[in-house]
Each structure stands twice: as C-alpha cells, then as structure tokens.
A = this chain, B = another copy of it.
C-alpha cells in the first residue's frame, strides 16, 4: 500500500468486496480507531446533487447563445450573445425579486403563488434547501426566456427586448409554472390547478420549453420576417447561419446541460437518476438520427441544421416523460420528435410564413407539446402522476393546450402592446447594417472579410 489508498482495482468485480465492507475499509484508520465516523446526510446529498445539476443547466445559456448565433448571420452575432447575457442576468434578479414567489409561493386559487418575494419570511431551517432550490429554478426560468430570443433574432430592438425578458421571467413563466409545479418548493401550501389534476411534466417539456417556444412564435409573428426572408410573391428564402461549428458546439453544450435539466429534476440524490439520464440520452440520439435520415429522404442530403435541431427536439420531447417511460419508449419519443421538428420548421417557414430564424417554436413549442402528450402515451410510472378519475392522457392534452394558450396568447398580447407602445423592431437600415453595429456600435468579427451584400 504505497499511497494510503484503500484499493486500486475497484472495477474488477472478481476482487470487489461488498460495498458494506468497502465502506468501512475506505475509512481512514484514525477514524476507525477512536473517532465517530460521520456520514453524508441525505439532505446535504440532495443539496449537492441539485446544485450540481443547476450548474449544468446554467451552462445551457452558453449553448443557446452558440446555437442562436451560429444559425444566424455574422452581423448580429454579438447582439445575440448580449440577449443571452441579458436573459440570464436580468432574469436572475427579477426571478429573485418576483418570479420565484409567483411560481412557488403559497397558492392562491391554483393560479399563482403569493409569498417568498426575495425569499422573505423563509424559516431558518428551510434556508439551505431554499437557496439551492432557488438557484436550480432560476436557471430553468432563464432557459425559458432565452428560447424566446431565438425566434426574435436579428431584428428586435435591444431596449425593448429587455422588457420582454423581464416580463417573461418575472411574470409569464412563473404564473404558468405555478400551475404545474406550484407545490414543489415546500409543498404544504397548495398546488397549482394542473398539478392538482395529476399533470405530468417532470422536467419541463411544457413548463419551460413549450412556453418558451410559443412565446417565440408569437414574437416572431408580431415582429414580422427579416428583410429579404420572403420574396414579393411570398416564397421563403433560406438565410443560412454564419458559423455551423459554433452552432454544433452549442447543441453539444445543450445536450450536456440537459443531463442536469432532466436527472436534476429529481432534486434528490436517489437511484432513479440513471434511468432518467439514459432515457434523455436515447431520445436525443433518436431525434438526431431521425432528423438526419428524414432530411435525407426529403431533400436528398442530410441537412446539418435540421440534424442539430433533431437532437434538441429529442431532448425537448423526453423532458416531460423522462422519469416515467422505458428506454425503448424514449427511442420512439425521440424518433417522432426528430421527424416532427423537420415538418414543423417547414410548415412554420413555408406555410405560416413566420420567420423564426433558429426554429425555436418548432424545437421547443411543438416538440415540448409532443413530449407532454408522450408522457401520457408511454407512461409506466406507478400512478403518482395520474389524476383522480381522469385519464392521464386527457390531463396531458389539457396541459399542453393550456401552455399553448397562455404562451402564444399571452405572448401575442405582450408583444402587441410593446409594439404599440415602443415599437419592437429596429429600422430597416439598422437591420441591414446588422444589430451589432446598430445596437452596440461594434462588430463581432473584426479583421475578417465578410460579404457585404447580405
């Protein structure tokens, strides 16, 4: 024993003692000799796991920034990063002051929370968990807000986007979040109306993704398309992204962070997190493969941006059902999501003629709704999510509809009012110049020769 290590071959099961014995064996001799041996409490383990998961989810902000910047043009890349910083930064503060209380505070009629503003009034004993839970929820809130920026890329006035971001994180997101997750914080102060019905949205296909996606759709619609996106006779023109490796890195970052998003939603260090991770991985894989294959069948070549969106579609789709379906079902859920996202992007682009530059409404809105419904279709949970007498599928459909109505409807009202009051959009000249110069007075790629015609 050269290192004071207890063993070197733990992976070789033929020499592996039972863990009960190992545990004692791993304790420093001194401890065994006289001291009491201390163990990690489950409470502190939950704090540890939830914090680590939150950190992973926080990093998804980087992923969104890279995906959105990569899939749009070089002349607005810095502005997109700025919106992502804003969403997380202003969002964290507003969620501390208001959002968290509206989402998780004492329930009022199943519709909204009413206590815990700035975490005021929390009992001392509840504070360590509350800090951790707040942080975990704050990065979820920021995710929802960031999704919106994708649909509104390359033409939104920065000063007004600030308002959008604050309203989403401070009000729209927490209100509908309360419907589905209102009792998750301390739990004894009443549930939201959807969770009271037994609505299943384990990690937020609806709460986070659909909401963000439907808001993005409303925003893109109220803003109108980018200059040059549609010809005079209404034909959609592709405006390709300027940095595909950056977007690809962004997708990998999101995929990575999603292993905090889904397994972390246990907020408990227990033995279910392996299944959740496996389901998350398989659905993302299936979404990737489906979009890669389906785009090849449809366009003759495997499309890069569709494939990347397929990965995200699989991730969004498994977010609600990840804890309550089998690995086999996860593959099916991902395959459907990967096809759905291709069809939806086409439909929104070519039929609805709404210019959503990164496909946010398809990836997060449509596939979030799919995930919510899939949770009802493939459920093998032990009944905890089932509402009283109603079928789970019915509740899931109701919930998906409620998020569509609130996200798209509420978003439409918000964007229309902001447009009427301040004007949401930059001028045509500013848009042609690019938002980096127009809104921030600087370029993103100094020294590089860029084509000036687009």
Are B245's CB and A96's CB within 8 A? no
Q: Mark A16-57, 1 if CB is under 8 A from B, else 0.
A: 101111111011111100011111111111111111101110
Task: Identify the 4 closest CB pairs spanning chains A and B, nearest first.
Answer: A13-B187, A132-B274, A9-B384, A4-B124
User: For this complex, into which size category does the number of interface residues on chain A fall?
Assistant: 35 or more
Separation in Å of the A153 CB from the closest CB of chain B?
A: 13
Copies of the polypeptide in the assembly: 3
- Of A81-89, A212-220, A355-363, A420-428, the one touching chain B: A81-89
- Scoring A residues 436 to 454 as 1 if CB is less than 8 Å from chain B, else 0, what string do you get? 1001111111111111001
The answer to whether B304 and A14 touch across the interface, beta carbons within 8 angstroms, is no
C-alpha gap A81/B50 in the complex (Å): 31
In the bound complex, CA of A429 to CA of B260 (Å):
44
The winner among A89, A240, A441 for most chain B CB atoms within 10 A is A89
Assembly CA distance A399 to B84 (angstroms): 36
A18 touches B35 (CB 8 A): yes
Decide: A380 and B3 in contact? CB cutoff 8 A.
Answer: yes
- Taking the complex as formed, is A282 at the interface, i.e. its CB lies under 8 A from any CB of chain B? yes
Q: Which one of A227-235, A261-269, A410-418 contacts B?
A: A261-269
A137 to B42, CA, bound (A): 27
By a CB distance below 8 angstroms, the chain B residues around A80 are: 245
Identify which of B39, B85, B277, B451 contacts A55 (C-beta below 8 A). Answer: B277
Give chain B nearest CB distance to A60 CB in angstroms: 10
Q: How far is the CA of A204 from the CA of B65 in the complex (A)?
A: 29
The reply to whether A2 and B380 contact each other, CB–CB distance below 8 Å, is yes
A444 with B124: CB separation less than 8 A: no
Which residues on the B side are within 8 Å of A448 (C-beta)?
74, 242, 445, 448-451
For the complex, what is the distance from the CA of A50 to the CA of B304, rounded to whole Å?
Answer: 32
Check if A406 is an interface residue, CB within 8 A of chain B: no
Asked if residues B89 and A311 are in contact (CB atoms below 8 Å), the reply is yes
CB contacts (< 8 Å) of A39 on chain B: these are 23, 39-42
- A48, B13: Cβ atoms closer than 8 Å: no
* CB proximity to B under 8 Å, residues A277-315: 277-278, 281-282, 284-289, 292, 299-305, 307-308, 311
- Are B275's CB and A128's CB within 8 A? yes
Kindly provide the distance from the CB of A168 to the nearest chain B CB, expressed in whole angstroms. 15
Q: What is the distance, in angstroms, from A73's C-beta to the closest C-beta of chain B?
A: 6
Contact in complex: A127, B78 (CB < 8 Å): no
**Known contacts A65-B249, A245-B66, A446-B241; A272/B74 CB under 8 A:** no
Contacts of A130 in B (CB 8 A): 274
The stretch that binds B, out of A326-334, A346-354, A389-397, is A326-334
Task: Indicate whether A160 reaches chain B with its CB closer than 8 angstroms.
Answer: no
B302–A245 CB distance below 8 A: no
Is A101's beta carbon under 8 Å from chain B?
no
Interface assignment of A175: CB less than 8 Å from any CB of chain B: no
In whole Å, how far is A185's beta carbon from the nearest beta carbon of chain B?
8
- Judged by a CB distance under 8 angstroms, whether A236 is at the interface is no
Contact B89 A301 (CB under 8 A): no
Q: Chain B nearest CB: distance from A273 CB in Å? A: 6
